[in-house]
Amino acid sequence: MTDLLLVAGLALLAAAVVMTATALVARRVGRVSVVDVGWGLALVAVALVCALLSGSWQSWLLAGLVVAWGGRLSSHIFTRSLGHGEDPRYEELLGGTLDRVGMARAVRKVFLVQGAAVWLVSLPLQAAALAGPEWPWLAWAGVGVWLVGVLFETVGDAQLAAYKRDPDRGPVMDRGLWSWTRHPNYFGDACVWWGLWLAGGAASGWVAGLASVLSPVAMTIWLVWITGARLLERTMMRRPGYAEYAARTSMFVPLPPKRA
């Protein structure tokens, strides 16, 4: 019980520290969307705490995977957001810009929720730190699923960036991975967390696996229905040609595009 409280408590503390720092940055720049950068960094902090507490090869493997994923994600979002205003998703969530709604509302509806979410989705990291590897082969299977997710995120982001640079682009991005799924980055993110669950929770035994499976389940639900695809679709459906694109393209899981 002491070890459980120590790992869970320090993981929560690491998430709280990063989210507090992110909230201070948000107040300074006037944009709540900086939390998207802090999200990856908070998970990196939790992964490193778990690895330091455990010292096992499994926890350090997980830390390496999270550092590679979180570092790339935070760097990409930071670079992409330079020179831009607030993300419309956060304006809709808060009911206005940060200047209008105030920092207290942003902390309550965004930063506290994101901090709690970081702790929740890090359950496989905490389980591995507590239990250690019982089925090592599952750890390497998880690395394979994680790699699929990272490839979808990286390739999807690169294809979207190339589309935005193309002066002859159409009104809707429907090339490459985006012709198979309308949200390859969200699908990739879900694969990352199922891979981390396999490598962390499931590889640590059936008890650790069951105790931490809520992490990838919750992450997938958020990515599809709450903070990810569905929320973005409300805005995208207003774009000319997007409804036709949606009719022929899977929303989440990659599938061959439907014929017109």
Report d(CA 16, CA 33) in Å as an integer: 17
Residue showing tokens 């589309």: 163
Q: Where are the domains of the chain?
A: 2-248
Predicted pLDDT of residue 117? 93
Predicted pLDDT of residue 54? 94
Tell me the backbone φ, ψ of residue 169, rounded to 5 degrees. Answer: -65, 155
Mean pLDDT in order along the chain per 10 residues (260 residues): 85 97 94 92 97 95 96 88 79 84 91 94 96 94 97 94 90 93 95 97 95 95 85 84 92 88
Predicted pLDDT of residue 2? 54
Residue showing tokens 């499994």: 58
CA distances from 247 to 46, 90, 183, 242, 243 (A): 40, 27, 14, 9, 6
Predicted pLDDT of residue 47? 97
Report d(CA 209, CA 58) in Å as an integer: 14
Predicted pLDDT of residue 246? 92
